[in-house]
Amino acid sequence: MKYLKNKLLPILFLALVAGSTGCKKYIEETNLGAATDQLYYVTKQGFEDLSRSNYPNLRYIASMSNLYNLGTDTYSSLQTTDVNALNMYNVSLNSSLADVDNLWKQLYYTIGGNNTTLYWATQVQNMDAATLNARIGEAKAMRAYCYYLLAETFGDVPLVLTRTVDVNTSFSRTPESEVYTQIIKDLNEAIATLPVVTTDFGRITRGFAQHLLAKVYLTRGYKTYGQGVADFNQAASIADALINSGTYSLRPTFASMFDPSVSNFQVNSEVIFSVQYSTNVASNQVYFLGKAGLPSVAGGTIAAGTAAVGNALQQYFLWDTSVIQPIGRSVLYNRPATAHASVPDPYFFSLFDKARDSRYQATVWTALIAQTAGSANGKNFVAGDTVVYYPDVAFTTAQKAARKYYVFNPGEYRTTPFSGNTRTFPLFKKFRDPNAAFADNGGTRDTYIFRLGETYLLAAEAYLQAGNLPKALQFFNAIRTRAAKTGTNPASGLSYAAEMQVIGLSLDDILDERARELSGEEFRWYELKRTGKLISRVLTYNDEAKASNTLKSFHLLRPIPQSQIDLNSGAAFPQNPGY
């Protein structure tokens, strides 16, 4: 059920720092229909198309798994001979890194689209007030989201709040504290105008702005310019109110939000906002800077502008099982996205109480099954046989020898006999997509951005930081109750849900719970940064980063893309310290 149509702007607008596309002058388009923005965007249809065109930009932003997960405590690189700058924090993590350059450009392009929408909202004719106010709220909320990511990634960034119509090469970096003030202003204004619900599923609603505002106050509460406990109390109050608004509710089971065999599983009571894709593959193009196609990346083999149709989420957090003959090119296990090298590390798997927590089996495959007859490990298999197995409790050498299939114990997730210097580990099944072929992209699943499960954990963290442990435990234990396996533990006579409850809570506990509940959904790097735990947890749990031992405090910001510094010739635009 996808109602949100994807249309590009009839006339492309200019993003921040026009030179983000150099001298190619991509805005000089042939206009065969003789339409202009002055004629089209003042009409109801034109303005609706303009507003709608902002949403596809989020597809690329949501897909940057490496930037959000590498170099964290729970994710590392697929390769054990690791040289990835984002994971190792080495000298290659610099201002020329393609990922940070592309994120900057796409975020400002999206901001530019929303600024343009807000301008034409003052000019459009014959729009009913409720719809117009909703579109204004959507634009302000999306702009706030982009600025939140920019500020958390780069610190001080240019704050552009008006439509860009001319080339400007004279921007200054606005203090991060002022950017946060604007984010909060945008979100409060959006909350005042956005509808609580919409029949046009996929649009931003009031819950998006409330959820993000809770996270923004929570994040600011940790900062030197923040208001500490006052911000934490604000975050707690907003999250609490959203949870108890009756608009959303936790799904009865964790697995039901991710199991494609459940009818209409992605349109459910827990989803606050998701980036949309459709079973109509033609509408699933991925856009970068307003054009269908991928950007060029350093060292990549894909040419800039290469079309990408469909989500690639089902390709994340995998290793290549196709080299095992009985498994082959299985749609069930899918093809790993080699461009997205972030994969769960051994610490991630150690976080689950596999006897009590249902989320482990809902998240990963613990057994890989033969899809056809073939040989592996010197043995013959038929379809349906187990080929690879990951036991919850380590097998002894004798137990391993008694099985014809491969067995990898929890301590053996770092190497593999299958494909060189890559890891082997339980594959993610959380994002499996039966509609996607064994190929790049092609997925039809939505990408969850905000859901109520995270709102509960935001509330728990905010109440904890505000000194209200009983309220923090209330929301934290609600998530653990839902996560518990059904039934009673025969060893104790207690329900698994009862055994999942905790009576004490720390920031580390919340980060561990986020890893279990929001694996592959949250942008992990930002969560560690917010809580002040990035350096300590990465150097404790990420073996590759620990071995490199080059992670420093300046890495709490990413480098400003050199392309933007070079193009900003009309004003001083300093690089972040350390780069």
Q: What is the pLDDT of residues 124-144, one digit of tens each?
A: 999 999 999 999 999 999 999
Higher-confidence residue of 24 and 518: namely 518
Confidence class for position 12, pLDDT limits 50, 70, 90: very low
pTM over 0.95: no
pLDDT tens readout for residues 411-432: 999 888 887 778 899 999 999 9
Is residue 311 predicted with pLDDT exceeding 50? yes
Residues 6+ apart with CB under 8 A from 339: 66, 297, 300, 302
Hunting for tokens 């196709």 — which residue is that? 322
Q: Which amino acid is at 31?
A: N
Q: Which one, of 103, 114, 106, lies nearest residue 163 by Cα?
A: 114
Q: Burial code of 99-125, b = ≥16 C-beta within 10 A, e = fewer?
A: bbbbbbbbbbbbbbbbbbbbbbbeebe
- Mean of the pLDDT values across residues 486-514? 97
Is residue 308 predicted with pLDDT exceeding 90? no
pLDDT tens readout for residues 522-545: 999 999 999 999 999 999 999 999
Question: How high does pLDDT run on average in the chain?
Answer: 91
The answer to whether the Cα torsion of 11, 17, 21, 23 is positive or negative is positive
What's the pLDDT score for residue 303? 54
What's the pLDDT score for residue 72? 98
Q: Which one, of 341, 348, 243, lies nearest residue 299 by Cα?
A: 341
Confidence class for position 33, pLDDT limits 50, 70, 90: low
- Mean of the pLDDT values across residues 296-322? 77
Contact between 563 and 163 (Cβ < 8 Å): no
Confidence class for position 339, pLDDT limits 50, 70, 90: confident
Q: Which one, of 532, 465, 456, 454, lies nearest residue 505 by Cα?
A: 465
- Mean of the pLDDT values across residues 461-474? 98
